[in-house]
Structure 1
Amino acid sequence: MMKKKVFALVAAAACVSSFAFATPQTQFEQGQWQLDLGAWNPKAEVDSGDIYGTGGDVSTDTKWNFQGGLGYAFTNRLALQYNYYGLKTDGSNETAGIGTDGDEHEVNLVYSLNKNFAVYAGWNRIKNDLDGANWSDTNNVAQIGLIAKAPLAKNLDFYAKGAVGTKSTALWEAGLGYTIGDNWDISAGYRYLNTKLADGGDVIDGVKLHDDTNITYKGFIAGVSYRFGGGHKEAPAPEPVYTPAPEPAPVVETPAPAPRNDYYFESIHFGFDEDQPLPSEQQKLENFVATAKANPTDTFKLVGNTDSKGTNAYNEGLSQRRVDNVAAYAESKGVPASQMKLEYKGDTDPVATNATAAGRADNRRVDIWQNK
């Protein structure tokens, strides 16, 4: 009976090192906050042979724990994030009702590589408190990790992440995230963690451990994320200043100018998730520059577009970068910025279906209109 009780205590003492928001983010908006709330339902397992050399695994019952976090984006690539996880499990019939009653706090710096990948590094403080035994310990873990996301359908992403850390810590998690509007995400996945429980020579409830002992935590995890703030507010318009109306000037009859209209000129195309034109579009760019310089009184409207892959917010930014790069090329060749008007439409104005690769290729474009 004593051995079974000690098995239960060891199996329940999971120490966890992790990076997980309700939906892991790989891209940020400067000045934006993210609040995460959720729950996970882990069980703990340990190889009893690590203690007694008898072989066989023992485990605790699962228990729902609160998990939450708060993050802030310093720039469009760098964010600081805090996470909390409860580390509570119930004892099984085998473990005579003994579980754990600890918690975990972690702080990570996260750096976005692109919309699909981010890396992170930070510190993790994990308190292991064995409920019903004379054992409590706190691990301080330094960790590094990688986050990956890939779109499966509009607003639906597959995500995965993994990390390694001190105290023999390793983890992975994978699941699905769904975007609800621009500011809300929900997710569900499975999480696996393995880390050191105790060193060889430690005594747990009167039993001396022969070797270093690791423990595994694994279970279902789900949550919701809300993002707020960010962006740049426009300065308020100045208060109107009253000035008396000037004396009317004599009316001089002049002929009305001929009406001007926008005429479609050309479309510059781009590769998937690229903001520089395809090499095959070089002749179109040179034709645009030559026409603009030959017609200095005409203005040209540049309208950026994307396919439907990715979130609305990301696609709006991608269409802006595409337009800005075409305009920058024209300026470098002598076209004044005042001759160009820039607009960004993201994925809201497709010219072809987004259900096929060919259609999405047609939608990755900057349309040029000539006003004359």
Structure 2
Amino acid sequence: MSLKIRTLVALSCAIVAAQALAAELDTRLYISPTVNYTVTDGNWHTRDDSGFGIGVGKPISQSLNLELNANYGEYQRNNTYATLGTVKNTGLMVDALYFFSRDPNFSPYALLGVGGVQTRATKYSETNLAANAGVGMMTWIHDIGLRADVRYRDINTRKFDRGDWIATAGLVIPLGAKPLPPAPKEEPAPQPAPEPVPAPVPAPVEQPAIERPAPQTKIILEGTNFDFDKATLRSSGKAKLDKDAEMLNTYPDINVDINGYTDSIGTQKYNLGLSKRRATTVKKYLESKGVAASRMTTKWFGKKDPVASNKTAAGRAENRRVEIIILN
């Protein structure tokens, strides 16, 4: 095996071993029909030509996809070797795609793969170990992806290595429906309690007055952060806002800022819009509880000012938040 192939195999294995499964990821299997154009190695004595392929893949972490790709190309001999007919290459590769970003508008990646190539020609048939490496990108339109990449494929034949440059374009078609977020667990129905023994009626207790918060107090909806890529309030978030609305209705002179935030996944342009929708959701809910709209100003900051690390799923969940700032 050549040094070039050994290096590509080692790097491919290192990438696969280094990745951990990530949350909030569409992990559906997908198929990827492609067309390609190959600039063949001079040792083939063939003309450059187009071909086609089909692959199946699956995202396994926030940064990594694994794919099984098959491709076929048929290349005419050049004039010097025309009497020898055509060269037909059928390749089967296992590829690891490392994504630098999962932005649906532009997802660049690097790829490494190993496999084999069967070569057939007049009075000749041989299967050899191969490896490839390259770079590419994906972009998504609704639930269909477009992809393109350029890769160098090294084939270790019995006589000498042959290296081809292959440009590929195709589709990424997920299989099955997009998974829905898990439904909240239902609490078990309470068991009927035994008939209570009548007790003396206690004297009425005066409820304490709601304390007025100090100016510039920050109210974070702790434990009620938003789901990934959502601007819908959870039931626990509504319960927390009910208490905030009661306080604001008790002190009708208080004005507030309502600030929306997101985690770090996606572009800042997209996240600004998402954080705006979250802040607007909170404002409209407080309005429904009687708080005047003129007392509330919405602001949105996207993925700026995180309160926890975006490197973990728990940290990203804390950053998907809305803060209410008491102004006076």
- TM-score normalised by L of structure 1: 0.44
Q: Which one has the bigger strand percentage?
A: 1
Larger RCO, structures 1/2 (Cα 8 Å, 6+ apart): 1
Q: Which one has the bigger helix percentage?
A: 2
- TM-score normalised by L of structure 2: 0.49
